[in-house]
Amino acid sequence: MQRAIKHPDPRPRAESNIVPMAGSDPVRHPNSVAAEVRNLRKTYNAGTPHAHEALKDVDLSIRANEFFTLLGPSGCGKTTLLRILGGFEMLTSGTCRIFGEDVSRLPPEARPVNTVFQQYALFPHMTVRRNIAFGLEMLGKPRAEVESTVERMLDLVHMTDYADRRPDTMSGGQRQRVALARALAPQPKLLLLDEPLSALDLKLRQKMRLELKSLQRETGITFIFVTHDQEEALAMSDRVAVISNGHLQQVGTPEDIYEQPQSRFVADFIGESNLIEAKVAGVTGGEASLDIEGFGKVHAPVAERVEDGQKVWLSIRPERLVLGSGDGQERAKVTDRTYLGNAVEYHLHVGEHALTARSPRGGLRGRQDFAPGDVVSVGFEPGSIKVLLS
Ligand SMILES: Nc1ncnc2c1ncn2[C@@H]1O[C@H](COP(=O)(O)OP(=O)(O)OP(=O)(O)O)[C@@H](O)[C@H]1O
Ligand SMILES: [Mg+2]
């Protein structure tokens, strides 16, 4: 559950923890680790009948200057992990380091971290300019520096024209930008963002994705971004950690996560996948022959050891199924055809298996169009079948 933060959090931070303002130069920490957790566990209400293990033995390293995303379904532990990094929640066991320093026992104000919460509570009675200046003043920055920083932040988030307005006279997206400017103003080394775009409509969210990404590049600040929206995660991140039920499932670039899922959970949660049960019918030289009931045999590389007769799952993206006709291999029946604008989606039945195929519109890339009731052949693009053991 997301816990509402009643007040903004421009807490004063120890001077030494704030990266000095260096004009508009991005903060660069080449090759260093921004945040690291080891054997991290978090149990809420430990020792009571309501004990709940929210994080289970999480190991994670986030590099400096990275746009890093924690992705997973509701309740998987994303906010918990972010709050532990920010110092708003105590870890149960393990360690948490920020730029090499063990911060496991440090309060939020002693960490070189700032946070944008989902409820980006701005001070309603203050203008945009005052909202951004407040945290800097609390840090005891000289007036001239506060003023120049505020102007620079206003410019960075394209809110200069709104500087004298109050938050309650602005749209959600505008308030979001102010919240970002306020969090960025003291130039924290690390910025934590908990679903900061979820209150915005789709168009604005897409626009803010690009803005956030370029803000991260311009400032060089390490961003740890939380979302349950896989499209958002893929679009914005340098790397993504997929979390399920308190476990870290996989960490990798968006391409890795999408193209090389290592478990059924990741294959299914990121984009769409056809997950088909199969049996290993032989392995030679890193390639397995796999028997799909009611369909026949397919071949795919296997990274891990598998044995004859072992049950596995095959993951195949809908866009990598190739439908055809006239090749004598027609075994699948089209049960539905959905026009999606940029593609056509076909639902198919092959024996016991229900499959989804997606194809650029009929005619494009030489692909044929099919209608419900058609019987078609199903092929797989080379390298499209991932063999999953769990
Ligand atoms: N203060 C708390 N006391 C007890 N249980 C909690 C507390 N905060 C969170 N939890 C539980 O811990 C688990 C992880 O919660 P968390 O808020 O980290 O999830 P999340 O991934 O951020 O979910 P969402 O996407 O819905 O925000 C959930 O089952 C939640 O109910
Ligand atoms: Mg959350």
Q: 20-34, 145-159, 191-205, 277-291 — which is least confidently predicted?
A: 20-34
Distances (CA, A) of 25 to 19, 186, 249: 11, 14, 36
Q: Is the pLDDT reported for residue 135 higher than 70?
A: yes
> Residue 15: what pLDDT?
32
Average pLDDT over residues 276-290: 92
Q: 303-355, pLDDT tens digit by residue?
A: 888 889 999 999 999 999 999 888 878 889 999 999 888 889 999 999 889 99
| Residues that place a CB less than 5 A from ion ligand 2 | 2, 79
Q: Is the pLDDT reported for residue 10 higher than 50?
A: no
Smallest CA separation from ligand 1 atom 20, residue: 75
CA distance 386 to 384: 6
> Residue 162: what pLDDT?
95
Average pLDDT over residues 63-67: 96
Q: Is the pLDDT reported for residue 89 higher than 70?
A: yes
Average pLDDT over residues 31-38: 91
Q: Which residue has the higher pLDDT, 199 or 275?
A: 275
> Residue 198: what pLDDT?
77
- Nearest-atom index, ligand 1, CA of 89: 1
Q: Is the pLDDT reported for residue 19 higher than 50?
A: no
- Nearest-atom index, ligand 1, CA of 76: 21
Average pLDDT over residues 47-65: 95
| Residues above pLDDT 70, as percent of the chain | 89
Q: Which two tokens stand for residue 359?
A: 């194809």
Q: Which two tokens stand for residue 58?
A: 């999480």
CA distance 319 to 373: 21
Task: State the pLDDT confidence band at 365, using cuts at 50, 70 and 90.
Answer: low
Q: Please tell me if the CB atom of residue 52 comes closer than 6 angstroms to any atom of ligand 1.
A: yes
Average pLDDT over residues 101-125: 86
- How much distance in Å is there from the Cα of 265 to the middle of ligand 1? 19
Domains and CATH numbers, the chain: 15-259 (3.40.50.300), 272-388 (2.40.50.140)
